[in-house]
Amino acid sequence: MKTTLLLGLLGVSLGAAALPPAPVWEGAPPAETLKAKPGQDPKGIINKNGHRTDVMIPEFVVYPAAKPGAPIVIVCPGGGYGILAEEHEGAEVARRLNAFGSAAVVLRYRVPRRDNDKPWIVPVMDARRTIQLVREHAKEWNADPAKVGILGFSAGGNLAARVAYSPAEADAARPDFAVMVYPAYLFVKDKPDSTLRDGPEGVIPPKGTKPVPAFFAHSADDPYPAEGSMAFAKALKSMGGSAEVHVWAKGGHGWGASDRCEAAKKWTDLLGAWMKDRGLLAP
């Protein structure tokens, strides 16, 4: 991405509203296998449910902070790596983050799945590149480049976990903290008695690394078991990391930032308190 493009976006008032979408990649994204049909927008199609799909050119939308030095959180909507639920798991999340003093970036990573067995491959590329761009330009959005987080829901929570913790090249871009809301696919099988995915394609960090701080929010009645969040938090703590886990009795899956249940109403307040406790937000 050209710096001139990002600087041009700054004509919009900082801290007031979302900036126009900006591309993640200059030119063709790497490892892309899909082609848009004639007349189709490669940046995505909004389906009848208001979800985005068929993203071949990933973009991000910045919600600047009102005051300098704020943390900045890359938000990854969920949707099974097939679609992006980018309103209640994207834009509304960014607005809540803005409300307690954080900047936000909603990432429209590539969907649907390019590889059914390893659907995270190109989304991880998109997310890591976005971390690089956010660090380069954080100050332009009133954010601190040393306080870059990633937050994801369901498949987006899996993406956040992989970007923050999975084995990767030594110079791979990683966030400074990670937030996973009802993350999916952490377990080998989505059953409460399953085990975490390990190895090169797993989510457990490589030995000898200290994991970045983690925050989890989940419902006990979620079909993607809350035991996955709890087991992952335990693994991170055993490696010298820190983790906070909140589990509500009810709520199911996919509540995002909404009024659907107590979890949906309260988790961002708890996240804000956690960010203050970690020194990411001013008290």
Residue 24 covered by a domain:
no
Residue 30 covered by a domain:
no
Residue 144 covered by a domain:
yes
Q: What total number of domains does the chain contain? A: 1
Reference 185, options 264, 255, 252, 120; nearest CA is 120
Residue 191 covered by a domain:
yes
CATH number, residue 121: 3.40.50.1820
Model confidence pLDDT, tens digit, residues 207-233:
998 999 999 999 999 999 999 999 999
User: Which residue type, as a one-letter code, is found at position 248?
Assistant: W
Residue 27 covered by a domain:
no
* The pLDDT value given to residue 2: 39
* The pLDDT value given to residue 8: 36
Residue 3 covered by a domain:
no
Which helix (H) or strand (E) segment holds residue 152: the answer is strand 143-153
* The pLDDT value given to residue 17: 86
* The pLDDT value given to residue 230: 98
* The pLDDT value given to residue 283: 84
Range of the domain at 69: 43-277
* The pLDDT value given to residue 16: 54
Q: Strand, coil or helix: what is 96?
A: helix
| Below-50 pLDDT ranges, the chain | 1-15
Residue 97 covered by a domain:
yes
* The pLDDT value given to residue 265: 97
Reference 134, options 173, 98, 100, 192; nearest CA is 173
Residue 250 covered by a domain:
yes
